[in-house]
Amino acid sequence: MINYWSMRLHEAPFLHAAATARISSGCQSGYLNKKSSENSKWQTKWCLLYRNVMFYYERENSTRPSGVVLLEGTNCQRAVVHDEEKQFSFTITVPSDKQPLIFSTECESECLLWIQAVSMSSMQRVEQENMELHVKLQDVQKRLQAEEVTRNEYQTFTEEQVITIKRLRDENFKLKKHIEELKQEKFQKSEAERGSEEHRLHLLVSSVAHRWYNLTRWRKIIDMYVRSEHAESMKKRNRVLWQLMKSEEEYVSQLGTLVMCFFKPLKMAASSSHPPLSHAQLNLIFRNCETLYYIHQIFLQGGFV
């Protein structure tokens, strides 16, 4: 049976959890002075907090833990120790055990940090945080789906415009061909009737009238299309899409500033000996801002394709 306090661990699940904890980021760790009872001696252990379990090793580079503390249902608080050198101490008490574990740190801030980390180590809290993250993930997925629908609509609109342009080009080509045939026909007629000045004047008037008629006809067609509801809706849609892309650019820029100028430097500083913020505090403050930054970067790059 697993002892709460100290033993040589051979159980595979705990060894696997210990190995997982060593490679996990954001876990509270460091050297602590450990004492099992009032009469026992202080022993220096390298402790690692992972979810609701605390492993402690003989040294930081030890491959196997020398003991484990199951933190589910425990009580962690400041301890009163008569030894002046160990005044920054705290206890971990399990209801089923009469004798608590006593740990000591080098300073007040480190002691409070360990008390807070141990007190928050509960599977119920982890499950609650997982549920909150799951809800946020669903919200992000819904937003991505909505943005994907908008992108598909824009792509459909672009394809329709390409088809319209192609059709107009074909009509323009046929019109030019028809005009060339008319020119050729007129040239042949003019050659046949070159001697008649009155006929040449008639051809000139007919040509001018025909050009004026075509110009007037195309102006009416263009004016009708510009004033149509379809053209107005296309303008509104283009305006909305442009505003969406500009807003996304500004959002990605602000996220980049948050991640590059604040989150990453603080994350690197959290691994130092005197961090301004712990990994747990960073995760609590910044949450999944880095993931959102990369997701919106991908969307923004795809949106300009």
Determine the pLDDT at residue 269: 85
Q: Taking the model in full, what pTM does it have?
A: 0.39
Determine the pLDDT at residue 140: 92
Determine the pLDDT at residue 136: 92
Determine the pLDDT at residue 122: 67
Find out whether 106 and 38 touch, Cβ atoms under 8 Å.
no
Which pLDDT tens digit goes with each residue over 197-243?
666 777 788 888 888 888 888 888 877 777 777 777 888 888 888 88
Lowest mean pLDDT, pick from 101-115, 212-226, 243-257: 212-226
Token pair belonging to 4? 């709460």
| Number of other residues whose CB lies within 10 A of the CB of residue 271 | 11
Find out whether 31 and 45 touch, Cβ atoms under 8 Å.
yes
Lowest mean pLDDT, pick from 86-95, 116-125, 236-245: 116-125
